[in-house]
C-alpha cells in the first residue's frame, strides 16, 4: 500500500513539475482596434487550447518594440515595415507568423458633390503623417496612370487625433482616415461619409493584392524551442479573430473591459471596417513583398516567413 501510494505521489509530483515548467507565451498587445481579438484571449484564457499565456498592453509600437527586442516578450504585434526593418537589421531576430490586419484606411468627405476619385483633382486631403504606410499606398494609387487625377495636395499639418474633428467641424472637406478614426468621424456627424476604400483602390490596381497593416511576430529564440506551441497559439488566435468579427458588440465590450484603449461604442462601429484577419505569413508573402516595394523597405529573405 505504501509502495502504491509512493508511486502515485511520484506521478503527481512529476506531472506538477512538468506543468510548472511548461512553456508560456508572453504576448505584447497594442492599444487600438488592431488587437481587439486579444480581448477574447485575455477574457477566456482558462478555456482555450493554449492557457499558459500572459499579456502586456502597450500604448504604442515605440514602447512595445524595445520590450520585444530585450526578450521581455515572446510574441508581439508590429506594422509590417517595422517588422521587416528589425529582421533585416537584427540578424533575423524575429519572424512573421502572419497578417493580423489588412489596411482599412478610407477616404471620407463632407462634400455632397463628390461622386468619384477624379473629384479629388485640385483638392486637399488631410492625412496622418508623411511616414504613414497608408499615405504611401495612397500616393502610390494616385500616381498610377489609371487614376485620372492630375494633382492632389496631401496635407500633414493636422495631428492624427484631430483629423476626424477637422472633418466633423467642416474645417476640412477630405481626409484619409484609418480605423477607429473613420468610425469616430461617422459617429459624430451625419454629413461625413465614406466614399473610397484605400484597400479596394489598391487591390484593383495591383492584381487583387492586399496590403497588410499589422503582423504578429515572434522572437527567433522562442520559435526555436516552441514551434509547436506557436502553431497551437496561431489556431487559438485565428478563432479569436473569427469570433470578434462575428460578434462586434460582445467583442467591443470585452475590449473596453480589458483596457485596450477604446470605448465599446467606437470598437463596435469599427470592427466591421477594421479588416481584422488571420493570414499565414507564407501565404501572404507575395502581398507583403509588393507592399515592401511601395514602402521602399529592403525585402526580408524567406526565413522571415514562419511556416
111: Cα within 13 Å, side-chain hemisphere: 19
Confidence at 300, pLDDT banded by 50, 70, 90? very high
Taking domain 106-205, whether its CATH number is 3.40.50.620 is answered by: no
Confidence at 179, pLDDT banded by 50, 70, 90? very high
- pLDDT for 93 equals 86
Question: pTM for the whole thing?
Answer: 0.89
- pLDDT for 251 equals 98
Q: Which CATH superfamily is domain 23-102+210-304 in?
A: Periplasmic binding protein-like II (3.40.190.10)
- Cβ–Cβ under 8 Å, residues 79 and 61: yes
pLDDT, one tens digit per residue, over 258-283 is: 999 999 999 999 999 999 999 999 99
Do the domains spanning 23-102+210-304 and 106-205 agree at the CATH topology level?
A: yes
pLDDT, one tens digit per residue, over 50-108 is: 889 999 999 999 999 999 999 999 999 999 999 999 999 876 689 999 999 999 999 99
**Spatial separation of the C-alpha atoms in residues 228 and 29, rounded to whole Å:** 21
Give me the mean pLDDT over the 189-195 stretch: 96
Give me the mean pLDDT over the 189-218 stretch: 94
Residue bearing cell 502553431: 231
For the chain, the DSSP string reads -HHHHHHHHHHHHHHHHHHHTS--EEEEEESSSTTTHHHHHHHHGGGSS---EEEEEES-HHHHHHHHHTTS-SEEEE-HHHHHHHHHHTTS-EEEEEEEEE---EEEE--TT--SGGGGTTEEEE-S-TT-HHHHHHHHHHHSGGG--S-EEEE--S-HHHHHHHHHTTS-SEEEE-TTHHHHHHHH-SS-EEEEEHHHHHHHHTTT---EEEEEEEEHHHHHHHHHHHHHHHHHHHHHHHHHHH-HHHHHHHHHHTT-SS-HHHHHHHGGGS-EEEEETTTTHHHHHHHHHHHTPPPP-GGGB--
| 264 compared with 146, residue with greater pLDDT | 264
Give me the chain's average pLDDT, please: 90
| Structural domain spans, the chain | 23-102+210-304, 106-205
**Spatial separation of the C-alpha atoms in residues 76 and 239, rounded to whole Å:** 18
Amino acid at each position: 500500500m505504501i509502495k502504491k501510494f509512493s508511486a502515485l505521489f511520484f506521478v503527481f509530483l512529476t506531472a506538477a513539475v512538468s506543468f510548472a515548467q511548461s512553456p508560456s507565451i508572453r504576448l505584447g498587445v497594442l492599444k487600438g482596434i488592431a488587437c481587439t481579438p486579444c480581448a477574447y484571449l485575455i477574457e477566456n484564457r482558462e478555456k482555450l487550447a493554449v492557457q499558459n499565456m500572459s499579456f502586456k498592453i502597450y500604448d504604442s509600437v515605440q514602447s512595445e518594440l524595445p520590450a520585444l527586442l530585450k526578450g521581455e516578450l515572446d510574441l508581439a504585434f508590429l506594422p509590417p515595415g517595422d517588422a521587416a526593418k528589425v529582421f533585416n537589421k537584427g540578424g533575423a531576430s524575429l519572424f512573421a507568423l502572419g497578417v493580423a490586419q489588412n489596411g482599412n484606411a478610407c477616404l471620407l468627405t463632407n462634400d455632397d458633390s463628390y461622386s468619384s476619385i477624379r473629384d479629388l483633382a485640385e483638392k486637399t486631403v488631410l492625412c496622418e503623417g508623411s511616414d504613414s504606410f497608408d499615405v504611401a499606398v495612397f500616393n502610390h494609387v494616385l500616381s498610377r496612370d489609371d487614376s485620372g487625377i492630375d494633382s492632389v495636395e496631401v496635407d500633414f499639418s493636422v495631428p492624427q487625433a484631430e483629423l476626424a474633428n477637422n472633418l466633423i467641424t467642416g474645417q476640412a472637406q477630405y481626409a484619409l482616415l484609418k480605423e477607429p478614426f473613420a468610425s469616430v468621424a461617422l459617429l459624430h456627424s451625419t454629413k461625413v461619409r465614406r466614399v473610397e476604400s484605400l484597400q479596394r483602390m489598391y487591390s484593383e490596381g495591383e492584381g487583387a493584392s492586399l496590403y497588410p497593416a499589422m503582423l504578429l511576430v515572434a522572437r527567433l529564440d522562442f520559435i526555436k524551442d516552441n514551434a509547436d506551441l506557436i502553431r497551437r497559439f496561431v489556431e487559438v488566435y485565428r478563432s479569436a479573430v473569427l469570433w470578434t468579427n462575428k460578434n462586434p458588440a460582445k467583442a467591443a465590450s470585452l475590449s473596453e473591459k480589458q483596457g485596450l484603449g477604446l470605448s465599446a461604442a467606437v470598437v463596435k462601429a469599427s470592427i466591421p471596417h477594421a479588416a481584422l484577419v488571420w493570414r499565414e505569413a507564407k501565404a501572404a508573402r507575395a502581398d507583403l513583398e509588393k507592399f515592401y516595394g511601395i514602402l521602399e523597405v529592403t525585402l526580408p529573405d524567406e526565413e522571415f516567413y514562419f511556416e
